[in-house]
Structure 1
């Protein structure tokens, strides 16, 4: 049985920065990991969808995981190792485990659209072979197949399957999975920033977040308030972050978040083809959203200073 991992809190789905020659910029990657750790996040998730895993080689996958592990001191690193090929997902998972990852995030097989029995076999094959906590990732908008609640509940009984990343947009389904796995050592985490607070309200434990790359402190405060049952504060922070949540998904993730990273000075906006830079029509709006959040932060800090 794998060592347990606490899936409560905020886990940024990290971007993978590229240099002018489309090579991974490891220095920026490690600086970013340290920035997020210092901001108080509860773990890091490199080489997922936000990390452009689809355009990384297997060796690059492992190199990114190793670099993030090396950069941080005291937060778990959960490596994205999913594929639509079970053998390939297993190989990536084994290599991430050998690299020292604390857990795995496995997107459900995409394009080939397996039946529910095929999804169960896929996840069990990897969980049987790799002794690390594993998170089943349901994002039907990318994969073309929903992981049904019965499937999620069956997978939750496996000792190495520790959680479920919910990005279906179906709060009823998310709540049902949380309800039916209450007696399991199993966490349901939001995979949709706009549904993080609602997900926690029906039994979720946190979020694997895109927005936390840009606003880690606010995201941590929002999730912490919700987990503490302070839904008034959580709701207020959700509304503060709402324009960012929407702005980061005006085009395919991670196009907008990489643009936001560049605007904030955290990393380059370069993408690997076939993804492209954010359309000019959206950049001005994104800049305005980020400026408003910075202004709010400054005003809060100034008020706190006056109160001292």
Structure 2
């Protein structure tokens, strides 16, 4: 068993991995290992996130989450830190998952807020703080807090976000999906200026260039499961102030975003898996219900935008 990294703080490009399935919808462990190897081979990737939305975490049993972590740590744990998602409705179950992640060699947690809090949990902001504190009490692993859009009912107000970060010393970063550019910039300025700074990692793929220009310290994104190398090139260009390079890479990132995140948005996992099938990296694009496969018309649209992004079997993961 490879050990976790004490004091780990996420930054840079962190793809959120997909989870391939067999025809019976069990985990395709061989394809998963190849997918992990592909991402770990991309120069500039700083960590991998597992058991998140891109891995269809809503369908995974505790045992499957544990197995996914075992495979990941075994396959790439000597190369990259592993950030393990915590996705559940129950604080007690979240603590169980956190302890499993620690024992399994994860270096960090990605903490999703319990979906039950969408029922105006914002009116009781202390329940969010209590949830993250309970995770911090369960293990000493660093925590990435997942900040959601306002419309979900799961977004922490600025005051609550700061209180959570100040109350729970193991919160070291947020994955920001607030979907509000003004709030995003405020979070960057505020959290980076705390006495104990908290990194803002963006997942705003639809306006990634703007997000990086505001000072986000990294990217955690399911899109990275296909375009990790483009995300690395774009992030590096901003770090170096190379705006011509950023503009060049940004055109390709934009095309990939059109491929993955068009309406209906719910199909994005199926689209990314299909993209990797078209690029010869996955044997199938199976997703677990209630998600559905894309149809032929959508497959043709996807192929068009992949072409615009320069993504082929010869270039995927190495086209920059």
TM-score normalised by the chain length of structure 2: 0.87
Match of 1:7 among 3, 6, 10: 10
Verify: 1:222 aligned to 2:234, yes or no. yes
Distance 2:68 2:287 in 1: 16
Q: Tell me if structure 2 keeps the 8 A contact 1:178–1:202.
A: yes
Q: Give the conservation status (yes or no) of the 8 Å contact 1:82–1:107.
A: yes
Q: Does 1:153 align with 2:165?
A: no
Measured at CA, do residues 192 and 26 of structure 1 come closer, stay the same or move farther in structure 2, by a change above 3 Å?
A: same
Correspondence list, 1:45-84, <5 A: 45-72=49-76, 73-84=78-89
TM alignment of 1:241-256, pairs within 5 A? 241-250=253-262, 251-252=265-266, 253-256=268-271
State the partner residue of 2:182.
Answer: 172
Q: Which residue of 2 aligns with 1:121?
A: 130
Any unmatched runs of 5+ in structure 1?
Answer: none
Aligned length: 299
After TM superposition, the runs of 4+ consecutive aligned structure 1 residues lying more than 6 A away are 295-299
Report the equivalent of 1:277: 293
In the alignment, what sits opposite 2:35?
32
Normalised TM-score (structure 1):
0.90
Whole-angstrom CA distance in 1 between matches of 2:314 and 2:101: 40
- Any conservation in 2 of the 1:109–1:143 contact (CA below 8 Å)? no
1:239 corresponds, among 251, 255, 275, to 251
Match of 2:281 in 1: 266
* Offset, 1:136: 0.5
Going from structure 1 to structure 2, the CA distance change for 1:173 and 1:156 (only over 3 Å counts) comes to same
Pair 99,142 (structure 1): closer, same or farther in 2 beyond 3 Å: farther
RMSD over equivalenced CA pairs, Å? 2.2
- Give the SS at the match of 1:42: coil
Aligned with residue 94 of structure 1, among 88, 91, 99:
99
Residues of 2 paired with 1:263 and 1:39: CA distance?
A: 19
SS in 2 for 1:21: coil
> d(CA) in 2 for partners of 1:259 and 1:168?
27
